[in-house]
Amino acid sequence: MEQEKEISKRRTFGIISHPDAGKTTLTEKLLLFGGAIHTAGAVKSNKFTKTAVSDFMEIEKQRGISVATSVMGFEYDGYSINILDTPGHKDFAEDTYRTLTAVDSVILVIDCVKGVEEQTRKLMGVCRMRNTPVIIFINKMDREGKDPYSLLQEIETELKISTRPLSWPIGIGAKFKGVYNLYSKQLQLFSPNKTKISEDVHLIEDINDNELQQRIGDNATLKLRDDVELIQMVYETFDDELYKGGYLAPVFFGSAINNFGVKELLETFVRIAPAPLPRMADTRIVYPAENSFSGFIFKIHANLDPNHRTRIAFCRVVSGRFERNKFYYHTRLEKKIRFTSPTSFMANEKSIVDEAYPGEVIGLFDTGNFKIGDTLSEGEQLQFKGMPSFSPEIFKELINRDPSKSKQLEKGVRQLTDEGVAQLFLKHPGNIKIIGTVGELQFEVIQFRLLHEYGASCSFTPLNYYKAYWVTSANKAALDNFFTAKRHLITYDKEERPVFMAESEWTLKTMQEIYKDIDFHLSSEFKTEAK
């Protein structure tokens, strides 16, 4: 069947890691191998040119870090691949966690010098919760890193996942000579090349062949033969099912910046990574091969294209076939909407698509209908589950620095907080704007984007709140009483729901004891929580 054929050739995955391990570089190189781009520079220099593919937001170019997930599609060997390059920094982890709901597997990048780092552990924890299949790419082998055996050991103990090397490095750092593909038994010799694909692949049918010595020298040959023998003794043959269940991670070695080991990764990836998987909704499991279209919004981004001030909602297609110009049912708003120009992604370059299949990520122009987590269907009352919600931990008052741009500021703050970059709380009287985030860097992003995308300048004054609690009660009098007594600590979210700003854990405990009829919720999602 057409639908099944389309599904089976799709692969949608996220690239995750601790900051700086090389996700964006690897993404770029995968696109290079996929023929989606023709040359790639080092990420740093590339970030200043128009060819910057993944880190295209102005702030990302300037700082050299990714602050938001970007989505890119390309074709390789008959497969239709969607990569979601996530930001590594913990201050943007909300974006990464949401992205993980939209992928079917991940590639986890580890810097061979640093090994397993803080965010590596956290992200792996999220993958383990969902049994997401993980492939590990050990990057930066051109640098003097840790010994490959100890890296594997570290991964197994720290990330609590079994590993199975599918490629093996010959040397490391200055002595790095290449990788031996344990699967196809091919030897790829290393010649540093940052922009083009190296063709220097040698097929060595038998590892005991003398040709190996000629190519890599006596010492490296002996070491490789020992290593391969040991690996075959220690590790069982690679088990596809264990990988798909999230128990076993195949491991590749390479150097993304030098295009090295990337092809092995890509070739094996398309073969073993899962095709689009079913998703859990509130009422049932939804399967990709079903006839009716369904999908959910996992990300919203305003001003993706600086020339067109538009807002895009990123929709992961779960089932059926999405068609342009057809009316779909927005299950939260209970209304039908149609999309005249849905787009597919090549980073910030978008092209209009007429149809989309499960696994695909499409961009829908949004005029304010969507919130993260919203579901679209062909009429069925569905709500996809598992979208994480976050409670802010850092609060600052937003100060307008240019009164002539108040309108722009107002609009900018609303749009950026709609994206889920941060949360907005309003305090009356005086329309005081309080921004709540989980990380300091988000304030920088907001300030930068307000200025560059809306022309509004602002600054922030730190506030001493501990956490924000949405308050509800069946007892209206008790609620009114509470609001009157705690007036100075009550704010309202964008939907005018009252929120209590607790100054400490102790304040909250005291409030809970005094105001027994009032419920305190750590997230605005308490309605869906209760369902």
Ligand X SMILES: Nc1nc2c(ncn2[C@@H]2O[C@H](COP(=O)(O)OP(=O)(O)OP(=O)(O)O)[C@@H](O)[C@H]2O)c(=O)[nH]1
Q: Which positions lie near Mg ion, rule CB under 5 A?
A: 23-24, 66
CA 392 from chain centre, in angstroms, equals: 19
Question: Shortest approach of ligand X to residue 197 CB, angstroms?
Answer: 15
Question: Shortest approach of Mg ion to residue 306 CB, angstroms?
Answer: 20
Helices 441-454 + 406-418 axis angle, to 10: 130
Could you tell me the CA-to-CA distances from 183 to 52, 216, 219, 232, 430 in Å, in that order?
Answer: 33, 20, 23, 11, 66
Our CB check for ligand X shows the closer of 43 and 248 to be 43
Q: Which does 19 bind (CB under 5 to 8 A by kind): Mg ion, ligand X, none?
A: ligand X
Beta strand 10-16 with 105-111 is parallel
DSSP 92: G
Question: Shortest approach of Mg ion to residue 87 CB, angstroms?
Answer: 6
> Scanning the structure block, which residue is given the tokens 């949004």?
366
For residue 471, which of 524, 521, 526 has the smallest C-alpha distance? 521
Structure token pair of residue 8: 């089976």
Among 44, 185, 308, 335, binds ligand X (CB under 6 A): 44
The answer to whether the beta carbons of residues 309 and 354 sit under 8 Å apart is no
Question: Shortest approach of ligand X to residue 29 CB, angstroms?
Answer: 9
Q: Distance (Å, rounded) from C-alpha 352 to C-alpha 363?
A: 9
CB atoms within 10 A of CB 115: 18
Our CB check for ligand X shows the closer of 120 and 408 to be 120
Instruction: Tell me the number of residues near ligand X by CB under 6 A.
Output: 24
Answer positive or negative: Cα dihedral of 219, 222, 225, 227. negative
Please report, as residue ranges, which positions from 69 to 98 form the binding site for ligand X (by CB under 6 A): 87-89
Q: Which does 21 bind (CB under 5 to 8 A by kind): ligand X, Mg ion, none?
A: ligand X
For residue 161, give every residue at least 6 positions away whose Cβ sits within 8 Å of its Cβ, in sequence order, or none: 124, 128, 134, 155, 246, 247, 248, 249
Question: Shortest approach of ligand X to residue 17 CB, angstroms?
Answer: 5
Our CB check for Mg ion shows the closer of 24 and 524 to be 24
Q: Distance (Å, rounded) from C-alpha 21 to C-alpha 109?
A: 6
Taking CB under 6 A as the binding criterion, the range among 16-24, 69-77, 471-479, 487-495 that sits at the site for ligand X is 16-24
Question: Shortest approach of ligand X to residue 295 CB, angstroms?
Answer: 26
Structure token pair of residue 383: 């709500």
Triad 249, 160, 124: Cα angle to 5°: 70
Our CB check for ligand X shows the closer of 17 and 423 to be 17
For 106-181, where are the alpha helices, taking DSSP H only?
118-130, 148-159
Please report, as residue ranges, which positions from 121 to 180 form the binding site for ligand X (by CB under 6 A): 139-140, 142-143
Q: Distance (Å, rounded) from C-alpha 493 to C-alpha 501?
A: 11
Backbone phi, then psi, for 353, in 5-degree steps? -115, 145
Here's the x/- map for ligand X, 240-259, by CB under 6 A: it reads as ---------------xxxx-
Question: Shortest approach of Mg ion to residue 86 CB, angstroms?
Answer: 8
Question: Shortest approach of ligand X to residue 396 CB, angstroms?
Answer: 23
Among 10, 11, 24, 188, binds ligand X (CB under 6 A): 24
Please report, as residue ranges, which positions from 448 to 507 form the binding site for ligand X (by CB under 6 A): none
Our CB check for ligand X shows the closer of 44 and 284 to be 44
Q: Which does 171 bind (CB under 5 to 8 A by kind): ligand X, Mg ion, none?
A: none
Our CB check for Mg ion shows the closer of 56 and 500 to be 56
Question: Shortest approach of ligand X to residue 44 CB, angstroms?
Answer: 5
Asked if 359 interacts with ligand X (CB under 6 A), we say no
The H or E element containing residue 392 is none
Q: Which does 17 bind (CB under 5 to 8 A by kind): ligand X, Mg ion, none?
A: ligand X
Our CB check for Mg ion shows the closer of 53 and 212 to be 53
Q: Distance (Å, rounded) from C-alpha 25 to C-alpha 43?
A: 6
Our CB check for ligand X shows the closer of 89 and 467 to be 89
> Scanning the structure block, which residue is given the tokens 């344990």?
182
* Contact footprint for ligand X (CB under 6 A): 17, 19-25, 42-44, 65-66, 87-89, 139-140, 142-143, 255-258
